[in-house]
Amino acid sequence: MGQGSGQLQFHVLDVFAEKVFGGNPLAVVLGADLLATKQMQLLAREFGFSETAFPLAAGPAELSRGVDYRLRIFTPHVELPFAGHPSVGTGWLMARLGLVRPGRVVQSCGAGDLALQIRPGGGTVELTGGEPTCSEPVDAGAALAAVGLSTDDLADPAGQPARVCGTGLGYLILSVRPDALARCTPDLRLLSAFAHPVSAATGVWVAAWDPHTSTAKARMFAGDLASCEDPATGSAALAYGVWLVATGLLPTAETDAGAAATYTVRQGIEMGRPSTLACRVAAAGGRASRLWVAGDVFPVARGTIQVPPVGRAEA
């Protein structure tokens, strides 16, 4: 049964930010265990950020697996099984409020039980992604049209083909020439074909790779956000690591997590919200086997918000 009156505490954070008012803004709503799904969705719509997170108490079965808390994540339009910046931001906040201890923390979400490493004293949080997935090469035409680009903008269509990759949430990966990033003109109607859960690809990830610095400049477009573009997308940065290994652009040692290859993603520049995502990927058998994404978190605001009425429609 949903909760129908009263107030809930919330915090607004900037995640994967280099400083406050950068990165990706996130609302974290506390004490939402009794809310119905529709109430959570309405709150996410009210905040209007790319995602709103609801940390919930772990149940007995989850506690027996070592889970510290459950996490539900909503865009303004749909619930997601997994997302990077809500996971990183919520873990940071839970530790800051003393609800979990710094160090290794485990959250349960739609992508499974995922570990976070939270540095004592705040600051950087590293998230472990879910099971890596990678499709065979796919036609890039629909994705290019959805972001206003053409095949002439692709970096190397034969050697760097489009694929749908993910670690709990899939993205169609487009590798483009650096100058193409500024020319992206997203079409919300066409992007809706990639929206979760309609498509295996939640959004379109457009990235220009610099092999000399192992750094990508990237943009992410999706049809289920408040706007077409996201300023920092941890789940997509992880998906990109799967693609980098599959394409051979980021050679990785066939070894354990300690020798994982590193890469950096710079995102949000065109939106005026510069973001830095520090990533690692380990491989086995020529495929990505485990991935991590880390970033800094800055508190921005806190307050209370009214609980939506139980019976209100989502229209």
- Alpha-helical segments (H) within the chain: 37-47, 60-64, 84-96, 141-146, 188-191, 234-247
Yes or no: domain 133-289 corresponds to CATH 3.10.310.10: yes
Question: What local confidence, expressed as pLDDT, does residue 237 receive?
Answer: 98
Residue-wise pLDDT for 67-91, tens only, equals 999 999 999 999 999 999 999 999 9
- Give 219's strand partners: 206
pLDDT tens for 95-154 read 999 999 999 999 999 999 999 999 987 779 999 999 999 999 999 999 999 999 999 999
Per-residue confidence (pLDDT) for residue 165, from 0 to 100 = 97
Query: At 1, is the pLDDT very low, low, confident or very high (cuts 50, 70, 90)?
Result: very low
Coil, strand or helix at 54: strand
Domain residue spans of the chain: 7-124+297-306, 133-289
Per-residue b/e over 170-204, b at no fewer than 16 CB within 10 Å? bbbbbbbeeebbeebebeeebbeebbbeebbbbbb
> What is the per-residue pLDDT for 284?
86
Give me the pLDDT at residue 253, please: 57
- Residue 222 near residue 228, CB atoms below 8 Å: yes
Q: What is the mean pLDDT of the chain?
A: 93
Give the mean pLDDT of 222-247: 92
In this chain, the answer to whether the domains covering 7-124+297-306 and 133-289 adopt an identical fold is yes
In the predicted model, is pLDDT for residue 264 greater than 90?
Answer: yes
* Residue reference for tokens 């991935």: 291
Instruction: Evaluate whether 297 touches 14 at the Cβ level (below 8 Å).
Output: yes
Residue 43 has pLDDT above 80, yes or no: yes
Q: Which fold has domain 7-124+297-306?
A: Diaminopimelate Epimerase; Chain A, domain 1 (3.10.310)
pLDDT at position 227: 77
pLDDT at residue 254, as a whole number: 54
Give the separation between CA 75 and CA 272, rounded to whole angstroms. Answer: 21
Mean pLDDT, residues 204-228 taken together: 92
